[in-house]
């Protein structure tokens, strides 16, 4: 019996020396120290030993069991130490290495210019309204004094969703919705995306407009020019001036094109202003009396002014961008040049 225990001890040491993982260590426990293990088997064989030798043999087996448990704990502790050491090595941070730098982002130039424009007009008391991008024909054309056979419809190059449903060609429908919902005095700014079937270096099928509407008593073109004069000074510089030229829009009468003195050459003439000293920036005018009537506003008591500004146009002029497509290509080399 004693020889069998010594042989089992040697076999145990060999098995323990071959353990390389926690799984193998668990298997070792089951093989030697488990309920069905080799040491438990020795205890069962005590019945075959004579009564005189049984106490000494039981003590010998218990000593072997205690030794086996001690060796198991030593190997387990060493294995835990090595695993912790390996984990710490993998997770350690080398504080001498430079940090990973993430480039600082910036707003898109269209967003920068839009925010600047909103800030200027908000300072004049304008409220903001954003209407739907899919409009019915009534709001987009008819109530803005654009009849079914009016040539202005052809000029808009409209995207039709259905027979009388369109992608809005301007943000002016938002003015109609505001006049339907509110009574004068009205002072509202309507920014947003608009859509026209047009594409070249200065035009895009989708672009951004910002329309302004003021309805009150005794509104005149002088109010429009004074307001826009303040606007261009804030956007292009304090020396810039405005000029109104007669034009035509079905929803305003009289209608004007608004020019600004060239901020590049100071009005002397350069390539930007094509030698004229002036740059066209937007259109506007006095709200047509039929438009007021279509919204239930008495044109004999109230008058209004309206203007529409292309946000891309302002951005291109402000930053010297010569192709509108650059604003939509998402080229980081282009976009990261702009900081608010």
Q: What span, in angstroms and rounded, lies between the C-alpha atoms of 277 and 11?
A: 102
Residue whose structure tokens are 């954003």: 130
247 touches 283 (CB < 8 A): yes
> What are the residues whose beta carbons fall under 8 Å from the beta carbon of 209, sequence distance 6 or more?
170, 171, 191, 192, 194, 308, 309, 310, 311
pLDDT per residue as tens digits for the range 105-162: 788 999 999 999 999 999 999 999 999 999 999 999 999 999 888 777 776 688 889 9
H/E run at residue 308: strand 303-310
Q: What is the mean pLDDT of residues 19-35?
A: 82
- Phi and psi of 301, rounded to 5°? -100, -35
pTM more than 0.75: no
H-assigned helices in the chain: 2-17, 22-32, 38-44, 54-91, 109-122, 137-140, 151-156, 172-181, 221-236, 289-294, 311-319, 332-335
Higher pLDDT, 17 or 311: 311
Q: What is the pLDDT of residue 3?
A: 75
Q: What span, in angstroms and rounded, lies between the C-alpha atoms of 130 and 114?
A: 13
Q: What span, in angstroms and rounded, lies between the C-alpha atoms of 71 and 165?
A: 85
Q: What is the mean pLDDT of residues 175-187?
A: 95
Q: What span, in angstroms and rounded, lies between the C-alpha atoms of 228 and 307?
A: 9
Q: What span, in angstroms and rounded, lies between the C-alpha atoms of 199 and 101?
A: 39
DSSP string computed for 246-279: EEEETTEEEEEEEEEE-TTTTTS--TTTTTSSEE
Nearest to 296 by CA among 182, 130, 131, 171: 182
Q: How confident is the model at residue 179 (pLDDT cuts 50, 70, 90)?
A: very high
Biggest CA–CA distance in the chain, Å, is 130
279 touches 294 (CB < 8 A): no
Q: What span, in angstroms and rounded, lies between the C-alpha atoms of 224 and 284?
A: 8
What are the angstrom distances between the C-alpha of 298 and each of 140, 142, 147, 184? 21, 18, 21, 10
Q: What span, in angstroms and rounded, lies between the C-alpha atoms of 322 and 202?
A: 8
72 touches 27 (CB < 8 A): no
pLDDT per residue as tens digits for the range 315-339: 999 998 988 989 998 888 888 888 6
Asked if residue 329 belongs to a known ligand binding site, the reply is no
Work out the mean pLDDT of the chain and round it to a whole number.
88
Q: What span, in angstroms and rounded, lies between the C-alpha atoms of 257 and 247?
A: 6
306 touches 252 (CB < 8 A): yes
In terms of Cβ atoms closer than 10 Å to its own Cβ (0-12, 13-18, 19+), residue 66 is exposed
Q: How many residues does the chain have?
A: 340
Q: Taking 80 as the threshold, does the pLDDT of residue 196 lie above it?
A: yes
Lowest mean pLDDT among 27-31, 43-47, 289-293: 43-47
Q: How many CB atoms lie within 10 A of CB 205?
A: 14
């Amino acid at each position: 019996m004693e020889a069998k225990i010594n042989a089992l001890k040697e076999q145990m040491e060999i098995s323990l020396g071959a353990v390389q993982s926690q799984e193998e260590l668990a298997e070792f426990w089951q093989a030697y120290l488990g309920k069905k293990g080799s040491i438990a088997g020795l205890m069962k064989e005590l019945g075959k030993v004579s009564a005189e030798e049984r106490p000494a043999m039981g003590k010998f087996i218990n000593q072997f069991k205690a030794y086996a448990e001690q060796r198991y704990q030593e190997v387990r502790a060493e294995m835990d130490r090595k695993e912790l050491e390996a984990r710490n090595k993998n997770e350690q941070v080398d504080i001498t290495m430079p940090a990973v730098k993430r480039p600082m982002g910036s707003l898109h130039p269209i967003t920068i210019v839009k925010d600047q424009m909103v800030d200027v007009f908000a300072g004049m008391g304008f409220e903001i309204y954003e209407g739907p991008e899919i409009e019915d024909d009534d709001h987009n054309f008819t109530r803005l004094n654009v009849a079914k056979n009016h040539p202005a419809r052809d000029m808009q190059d409209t995207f039709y969703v259905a027979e009388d449903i369109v992608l809005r060609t301007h943000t002016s429908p938002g003015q109609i919705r505001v006049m339907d919902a509110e009574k004068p005095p009205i002072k509202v700014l309507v920014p947003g995306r608009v859509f026209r079937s047009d594409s070249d270096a200065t035009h895009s099928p989708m672009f951004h407009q910002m329309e302004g509407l003021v309805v009150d008593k005794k509104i005149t073109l002088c109010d429009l020019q004074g307001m826009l004069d303040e606007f261009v000074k804030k956007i292009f510089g304090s020396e810039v001036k405005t000029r109104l030229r007669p034009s035509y829009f079905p929803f305003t009468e009289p209608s004007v094109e608004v020019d600004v003195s060239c901020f590049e050459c100071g009005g002397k003439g350069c390539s930007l202003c094509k030698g004229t000293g002036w740059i066209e920036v937007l259109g506007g005018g006095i709200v047509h009396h039929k438009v007021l009537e279509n919204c239930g506003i008495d044109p004999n008591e109230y008058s209004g002014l309206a203007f529409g500004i292309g946000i891309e146009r302002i951005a291109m002029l402000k930053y010297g961008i010569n192709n509108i497509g650059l604003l939509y290509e998402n080229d980081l080399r282009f976009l990261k040049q702009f900081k608010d």
